Amino acid sequence: MTFKNIQARTRDERKAVRDKETWEKDRLRARKEGFVRIDTSISGSAMTVQAAGSQGYMSDADRFHTDVAGEEKVLRESRIARHQMTYDTRRRSNQLREEHRWQAMDAKAAEDKARWDHLRQDGGKARRNKSSCEFNPITLKYNDGKDGERLRQADSEIRHRASLRAANLQYNSSRAGINPITGDPVPRVPT
Tens of pLDDT, residues 121-169: 887 777 666 777 888 888 889 988 898 899 999 999 999 999 999 999 8
Helix (H, G, I), strand (E, B) or coil at 28: helix
pLDDT top residue among 180 and 32: 180
Mean pLDDT calculated for residue range 108-115? 96
| pLDDT for residue 114 | 96
Q: What pLDDT sits at residue 46?
A: 66
pTM for the whole structure: 0.34
Please compute, for residue 95, the number of CA atoms within 13 A of its CA located in the half-sphere on the CB side: 6
Q: What is the structure's pLDDT at 86?
A: 97
For residue 44, what pLDDT is reported? 64
The pLDDT confidence band at residue 183, using thresholds 50, 70 and 90, is confident
Q: Residue 14's closest CA among 27, 23, 1?
A: 23
* Contact residues for 170 (Cβ-Cβ < 8 A; gap 6+): 186, 188, 189
pLDDT digits 0-9 by tens, 3-54: 888 888 898 888 777 778 887 887 777 776 666 666 556 666 666 777 788 8
> Which backbone phi and psi does 112 adopt, to 5 degrees?
-65, -40
pLDDT tens digits, 73-98: 999 999 999 999 999 999 999 999 99
Give the N- to C-terminal CA distance of the chain in Å, as an integer.
131
